[in-house]
Amino acid sequence: MSRDKLTTLSNAANRAFYDGNFQKALKLYTEAIQLDPTNFILFSNRSAIFLRLKYFRESLDDAKQSIALNSKWAKGYFRKGDALCGFGKFDEAIFAYCQSLTIENEIETINALKDSLYYSSIKDHLSILLNEIGNDTNDMKLNSFLIISMIGQEYLSIGHLFEAIELLQLALDMDEANVVSLDLKLSVLGAISSAYYQQKNYQQTIKYLEMELEITKQLGELEKQLTIYSSIVRITLLNDETILAINYLRKQIELMHSVRKYFVKLL
């Protein structure tokens, strides 16, 4: 492969693209890809050209190939979201844009996400709120974890469990999940445990309830701890885990005794 020739082709393709000569840009990028078929940036750029030409299938295929070559390339997910919007698959596009946000928090991605929300299943629930977030320059309000988890909870509110779980899990897998406030993380864990419960996936429900329990212990919220213990006992019984249910019931009773002793001392 000639590096100089590849650079020349890429530069010429970029100029053609910005000049609006998309057919020429497509031809040049295709030649460049033939020279370097493992270059994820080339596939990402050609995906954008296919999109302008309304070749949505080809645009999506190139975006997927870009991601396959480099799963940490945010622009690949962004291109995937754009291509899915071309197909009218706005709920899927939202997830792709959110995947991009987990890698790079870019205004361009947030704007594309906002636009897709107006045509999504949650268009009547979230668009105005996300518009407010997008127009605010406050770092907290542009926090990717907050945006993604908020969208996930809105999907949960309309009973779209698969989309809710995908997005909530995406948020929880982010590094930012380890530094957000405990109250915010608790809210997200509560949402995903609720989604799994509605799916009757009791094993996953218990897993996230246990995470909630650990956070309520850190926050010292005794009432919430008792409520979570009750939920775990009930769900472990539904899941035929009698021994685990007894174990958590014992812990719940011990906590109740501790709370009672605490209030007796106060009196």
245/239 Cα distance (integer angstroms)? 10
Q: Please, what sign has the CA dihedral across residues 74, 130, 89, 144?
A: positive
Lowest mean pLDDT among 54-68, 75-89, 161-175, 250-264: 250-264
Question: Greater confidence, 81 or 138?
Answer: 81
Angle at Cα 13 formed by Cα 9 and Cα 16, nearest 5°? 140
pLDDT: which is higher, 258 or 214: 214
* Distance from C-alpha of 41 to C-alpha of 32, rounded to nearest angstrom: 11
Residue 189 carries which side chain, given as an amino acid letter? L
Phi-psi label, residue 114: left if phi above 0, alpha if psi -120 to 50, beta otherwise: alpha
Give the number of other CB atoms < 10 A from CB of residue 107: 10
| Per-residue pLDDT tens over the stretch 206-229 | 999 999 999 999 999 989 999 999
Confidence grade of residue 128 (pLDDT, cut at 50, 70, 90): low
Please name which of 130, 177, 123, 178 lies closest in space to residue 150, comparing C-alpha atoms. Answer: 130
* Cα–Cα nearest to 113, from 60, 74, 140: 74
Integer Cα distance of 82 and 46 in angstroms: 13
1.25.40.10, 1.20.1560.10, 1.10.3720.10, 2.60.40.1930: CATH of 20-83 = 1.25.40.10
| Mean pLDDT, rounded, of the chain | 91
pLDDT at position 167? 98
Q: Is the pLDDT confidence value at 84 over 50? A: yes
Q: What percent of the chain is modeled with pLDDT above 70?
A: 91
pLDDT in tens, 85-94: 999 999 999 9
For the record, the structure tokens of 14 come out as 């970029």
- Provide the pLDDT confidence category of residue 263 given band limits of 50, 70 and 90: low
pLDDT digits 0-9 by tens, 142-157 = 689 999 999 999 999 9
What pLDDT is attached to residue 129?
64
How much of the chain exceeds pLDDT 90, in percent?
A: 76
Q: Determine the distance from the C-alpha atom of residue 177 to the mean position of all C-alpha atoms in its chain, rounded to a whole number.
A: 12
> Distance from CA of residue 86 to its chain's centroid?
21
Q: What is the pLDDT of residue 212?
A: 97
Strands (E), the chain: none
Rounded CA gap, 88 and 68, in Å? Answer: 23
Is the pLDDT at 165 greater than 60? The verdict is yes
pLDDT band at 134 (very low <50, low <70, confident <90, very high): low
Q: Tokens standing for 150?
A: 């908020």
Cα 195 to Cα 156, 182, 198, 230, 258, distances in angstroms: 7, 20, 5, 18, 32
Residue 143 φ then ψ, to 5°:
-60, 125
The whole-number pLDDT of residue 137 equals 46
151 Cβ contact list (under 8 Å, min separation 6): 94, 98, 117, 122, 126, 130, 167
pLDDT of res. 135: 57
pLDDT tens by residue, 168-211: 999 999 999 988 999 999 999 999 999 999 999 999 999 999 99
